[in-house]
Structure formats: structure tokens, C-alpha cells
A = this chain, B = another copy of it.
Amino acid sequence: MSARFPHSLSRDEVEDFLKREFPQIAIGRRFVLEDVGPMSARMRLLFNEASLRPGGTISGPSMFALADVTLYVAILAQIGPVALAVTTNLNINFLSRPPAGDLICDCKLLKLGKRLAVGEVFLHAPGVEEPVAHATGTYSIPPG
């Protein structure tokens, strides 16, 4: 961690922050924060009728939301509680039809600069390596 990012939060610290600052993310009800690590995070989207689209598959917007929040969590865990980091770009490829069940999202940060953070995420069914979607995203980090 650079001098500008001296903090690094634990899983519990990130979870507390999200519950306090972003109640609408519904941590523990819609999303579960499974783990954070160096430049990485893992979240789970809990299966829910509302996430479905016809054919019993998870909707695109639900997968987008999962990708976006996991990127945010990975950044947060590295730079500390900066509520105002915002997504500037997200590019998502839908690869195959997800099964009707929970979805895991693994994020790896590719760059953590002073102004921009870039990461990639893989969305996959629990225990299945083959991804159903892949995304890369950029967050803008406000001046410290």
C-alpha cells in the first residue's frame, strides 16, 4: 500500500461500512460479502425470484449489480472507507446462461492508482470454475 492508501480493511470492517453507508445494497439479504484479500474480493448474489428472467436465469442487471459492488468492495478494502468512489466505466461480456441459483463473483484489481482503479470480475456458479459472465470496470477515486 502506498502512503496515500495506508488502510486496508478486514472483511468485517468492509461489511460494517457497507451496512452503515449503503443500506440499499442489502448486505446479508441480497448480497453476501464472502471474503476480501490483497487487491481482491469475493461476493455472492443470493438466489431470489426477483433476479430471474424468463427461462429461470439470473437477469443481466442483477449480474451487473453483482460485478459493480464486488469491484467497489475490493477497492474499499484497499483504500479504506471512501464512500464517494464512483464507477466510470463497466464492460460486461455475458458468456453463458447462468443456472437458477446463487452466483459467486471473484474480483481482482488490475490497477490501483491515485485517481483510477481498474479491476476484473468473473461471475460463476458456486463450485464451478467456468464463468457465466466477465466484466472489467473502472472507478474514479476522489482526491484524498
Contact = CB atoms under 8 A, between A and B. Distances in A.
B96 A21 contact: no
B90 A89 contact: no
A118 B136 contact: no
Contact of A136 (B24, B59, B115, B136): B136
Q: Count the copies.
A: 4
A21 B87 CA distance: 32
A134 to B, nearest CB: 5
Contacts of A140: 115-116
Interface of A: 21-22, 24, 50, 52-54, 59-62, 64-65, 68, 83, 86-96, 110-111, 115-116, 118, 120, 131, 134, 136, 138, 140
